[in-house]
Structure 1
Amino acid sequence: MGRVSQSDHHPRRPRRLLRTAAGLLVLLAVIGYFAAKQDSTGGQGAPHCTVRAAGGGGSYSMTPEQAGNAATIAAVGTGKPMPERAVTIAIATAMQESALRNLNHGDRDSLGLFQQRPSQGWGTPAQIRDPVYSAGIFYDRLKEVRGWARLPLTEAAQQVQLSGFPQAYAKHEPDATLLAAAFTGGAPGTLTCTGPAPRPGSGDPDKVKAELTRVFGDKAAPKLGPPASSAGRSGPTDRTEVTVPATGKNGAVDRQRGWELAHWAVANAAELNLSRVAYDGKAWIAGENKGRWVDKAPGTSGTGDPLSAGPDDVRIFVPR
């Protein structure tokens, strides 16, 4: 067998170099994509929401869809009105039944957040797939359970659900307690949600107002403000404001009610394309500050920020 000359190897080297260079370019492109994605969501990667215990301690992370559903379950509960314990039971039940997702399938004909069955008298499929309706009928059935407030969570939930796995709800109680405190407004500023800033013109103020009324009822009384510009500030410069009064039954300021509304808005910001939520001296700004609440808008000074809010009203801004 003859000896292969060195010149026979030369054509292969450029090909290997080209393959290596192409591989490096692909790798750099992937790195650049994820770096840009992380930057667009405030340095937190894919959009997500987290509730942290006030004063430190535990936390619970979820998708914006799950956060929005948990916030709606809480809002329907307080509107009944039901105490925070009932909200904890409802959220724990939905965590077990659907992982806080509005499912269009399930065991036999089960559907929705609570996997309720049309054939068992829970409502029509369309009703059950509506989180406001499904949460409302869950609370109605819970109220029918004698002494429900004194029962262990898993027993109260089981008497409503009649599940084949009656002990399964108990494991969700610590996380459900954390979420109930945040979404009923008892733990101000503990919800953070990352995600890119919405595109200008992507929001619909009338939809935001209608959804607030649907979830919180006519007493929410959301009002549309005139379009406003804030040139030089971060985020979309043109906004339409939806204002919701943070008042209780007697008309006095109710900060817990205000934070319930504010957290609901942040949890649903991705779905409703909100650019900013402001309440009680703090602001949440889409795509900035790693999804955390800040005391004032970045780049502003003093207390004259026209986009800030006091304790009287929750201000929700929609890009236009």
Structure 2
Amino acid sequence: MTRTGGGALTLSEDDRGPGARRIGRLVALLLVVALGVGGWVGVRRAIDSFTPAQCEVRASGQSFTWAPDQASNTAVITAIAIRRGLPPRAATIAIATAIQESKVRNITYGDRDSVGLFQQRPSQGWGTVEQIMNPEYSSNAFYDALIKVPDWQNADIAHAAQEVQRSADGTAYAQHEGKARVTASVLAGYSPAGIGCRLEAPTTAGSASAVADLISQDHGLTARVEGDTVVLDAQTSEQAWAVGAWGVARAIDTGVVRVSVGDQQWSRSRSSSALTWHSADSTGLSTRVVIALR
């Protein structure tokens, strides 16, 4: 053994046996790994903090992103189609139209007196400005016109949209078909667990009764309020996933923090983990939807 200048005992390399040297190397390796993992966690947290809030829809091997307010508006558009008994194609046409007209944002301006998601004009009989600025009203107005288009179910999306909108360039709607189709499939419940949203925590607590009222308004379904949760026992798997996807898409407006459909759960977070659903304790019913506000 040798001593330091201060008199403390130290082990020289020659004093340590093979076992001690192996342990030392292992400790060093573990420290490097720990620092690497910690560094990666830090990097991921930094990425999450700088990545804007967003939603993602996925179906048939395709994925598309939406800003949270856009996702919420597509949820309303799709829910109204479902409530009216229209097929997902109707929602696809409506979403493609809204992308072209307003980027699916409920704007208060446009060409001449056009306003809202579909840029409907009060002077052309679409309703008052106040009515058109209500997404449920404007969606219903769009579908009222769409179902009057001959053979709209089989027509090209651009043709069907143009027959409703009568815009300057009716071919422009076609470019949005892919994104609209995937979004409608997810929000209509045909692509389970196909939507996630990375969001900040709510600044104020949401209201379970307000969410139940919105489900009634958009989907025409009656959900029950149990404390800070809203529970809906759907009639079909598609209906359950439609309401579950709606709950995620509208979380930016409602303050929803968790949505469960059967044994799958989405949890609100700024992390990229909030873009997907995860296994959760099963309710025992694959068609039960539980939307939590706390």
TM superposition score category, shorter chain reference: 0.7 to 0.9
Q: CA deviation at 1:144?
A: 0.8
2:233 alignment partner in structure 1? 245
Pick from 187, 201, 207 the counterpart of residue 204 of structure 1.
Answer: 207
User: For the residues of structure 2 that align with 1:294 and 1:92, how far apart are their CA atoms?
Assistant: 30
User: For the residues of structure 1 that align with 2:126 and 2:43, how far apart are their CA atoms?
Assistant: 42
User: For the residues of structure 2 that align with 1:129 and 1:160, how far apart are their CA atoms?
Assistant: 18
Q: Secondary structure at the match of 1:148?
A: coil
User: For the residues of structure 2 that align with 1:74 and 1:112, how far apart are their CA atoms?
Assistant: 16
Whether 2:36 is the aligned partner of 1:48: answer no
**CA displacement, residues 77-98 of structure 1 (integer Å, 9 cap, x when unaligned):** 0111111111111110001001
**CA displacement, residues 153-187 of structure 1 (integer Å, 9 cap, x when unaligned):** 11111010010111110101111111111111100
Q: Secondary structure at the match of 1:192?
A: strand
Cα 1:196–1:121 change in 2 (3 A) is: same
**CA displacement, residues 238-261 of structure 1 (integer Å, 9 cap, x when unaligned):** xx11112211xxxxxx00010000
8 A Cα contact 1:38 1:45, kept in partner: no
1:312 alignment partner in structure 2? 287
Whether 2:155 is the aligned partner of 1:151: answer yes
2:226 alignment partner in structure 1? 225
Pick from 257, 263, 271 the counterpart of residue 281 of structure 1.
Answer: 263
User: For the residues of structure 1 that align with 2:47 and 2:189, how far apart are their CA atoms?
Assistant: 25
Q: CA deviation at 1:314?
A: 0.6
Q: CA deviation at 1:190?
A: 1.1
**CA displacement, residues 203-226 of structure 1 (integer Å, 9 cap, x when unaligned):** 111211111111112xx1111013
Q: Percent identity?
A: 37
Q: Please report the RMSD computed on the Cα atoms of aligned residues, expressed in angstroms.
A: 2.2
Instruction: Flag as ranges the 4+ runs of structure 1 deviating above 3 A.
Output: 35-44
Cα 1:168–1:277 change in 2 (3 A) is: same
Q: Which runs of 5+ in 2 are unaligned?
A: 1-40
1 or 2, which has the higher helix percentage? 2
Q: What amino acid is the match of 1:87? A: A
Q: What amino acid is the match of 2:174? A: A
Q: Which runs of 5+ in 1 are unaligned?
A: 1-34, 227-239, 248-253, 297-304
Q: What amino acid is the match of 1:267? A: A
8 A Cα contact 1:282 1:309, kept in partner: no
Pick from 143, 146, 149 the counterpart of residue 142 of structure 1.
Answer: 146
2:240 alignment partner in structure 1? 258
Computing the radius of gyration from Cα coordinates, the structure with the larger value is: 2
* TM-score w.r.t. length of structure 1: 0.74
User: For the residues of structure 2 that align with 1:198 and 1:241, how far apart are their CA atoms?
Assistant: 15
8 A Cα contact 1:110 1:117, kept in partner: yes
2:252 alignment partner in structure 1? 270
Whether 2:101 is the aligned partner of 1:97: answer yes
